[in-house]
Every structure is written in structure tokens, then in C-alpha cells.
Amino acid sequence: MDCPGDPTHPVPDRLRRPARPTPAHPRPRRPGGRLGGLRDPHPSAYRWATEDAEGEIEALGALTGHPVRHQYKLPSQDDVLPPPDALLVAPLTSNTLAKWATAISDTLALGLITEGIGLGLPTVALPHFNNAQAAHPAIARHVAFLREAGVTVLLGDNGFVPHKPRHGDLDAYPWQAAIDALPA
């Protein structure tokens, strides 16, 4: 049996982990319109929050005019962000969908979107998962639950249509549909 770190038992290349973490889903390409100023063609809060080697957190802060938060603040800290007019949740993975629909708030992003329902904030969700994941019975229940709670879930003909596993087309991700669904 191969043992990592043991030169007498090297791990085969096919089993090596990549040098840096990779997301479980592909990053959809950036939208045009109101969000077109993003510098990175594959925006990812994960990268901005954890791999800030090139100053991306500062760049995102400059773009929005506000500090970037990716962790909960302490109760003693002031909330320096203005209240949102609306929320856009994209790309919404099946994992985030399941957590959100069951009120699991184990990250700041999930906490904010869960709270958004209770605050009555206009919320648009644009999924991104394959049709094998979409076929799971819990997906339809979670989508229906969020829609009943007032969330605009763009899944189907007027939004995201799930693709076959490993056949996603990032250029076809319907960012504009999500942007158009936000209140003016």
C-alpha cells in the first residue's frame, strides 16, 4: 500500500491531490451588464476569500466600494455593509440548495441567504448542476420549498437547464436571466 510522504512507497500520479483545492463544480463565466466590471473571467468567492495571492479581495472591495466579508463578524463589530436591495445566489449548487432549503447556515453566505428569506428580501437563485443531480427527489422538493418561501428559482426553460454529467457549457450559463430577474 502506498503511503503519502514515504519515498519507498510513492503515490501514483493519478492518485495525487492537486497542489491547490479545486471547487466541486465549474465556475460559470462572468456576466455582462451590471456585473461586467469583474476582472476575473471565472469569479469565485472561494478564490477571493482563500487564495488572495494577487490582491483579489482588495480588487473586489474596490469594485463594490465596500469591504469583503467571507466570515461571520463578531457581535461587538460594527456592520459596515449597507443593507441589500436584493440577493442573487449563483451558481447555486445542489449542496447549497439543500442546505439553504433546510436552513443550515454553516457559512456566512448561507446565513445571509437564509436570513434574506425571513427579511423578505427579493432573492433570485440560478442553479448550476447536472441532470443526474437534478433527478434526485430532494432537488424538486427543495426548489418548491424555496419558491413557496418567495425565492425566484430560475430552473427550467426560463433559467438554467441541467446538463448531462461532465457536459456543462460554461458559455451557456444564463447569467443574464438572473440579472434580469432582479428588481430594478
Q: Is the pLDDT of residue 140 over 50?
A: yes
Domain locations in the chain as residue ranges: 13-181
pLDDT band per the 50, 70, 90 thresholds, residue 8 = very low
34 or 108, higher pLDDT? 108
CATH architecture of the domain with range 13-181: 3-Layer(aba) Sandwich (3.40)
Backbone Cα Rg of the chain: 19
Q: Per-residue pLDDT tens for 83-92?
A: 999 999 999 9
Output the CA–CA distances (angstroms, integers) from residue 118 to 2, 81, 103, 147, 159, in the order listed: 51, 19, 11, 13, 24
- Asked if residues 153 and 101 have their Cβ atoms less than 8 Å apart, the reply is no
Grid cell in block for residue 60: 473586489
CA–CA separation, 66 and 74 (whole Å): 18
Give 94: exposed, middle or buried? Use CB within 10 Å, 0-12, 13-18, 19+.
Answer: buried
Q: Per-residue pLDDT tens for 32-71?
A: 444 444 444 444 455 445 565 577 778 878 888 888 887 8
pLDDT reported for residue 80: 85
pLDDT reported for residue 25: 40
Name the helix (H) or strand (E) containing 92.
strand 87-92
Find the mean pLDDT for residues 126-131: 96
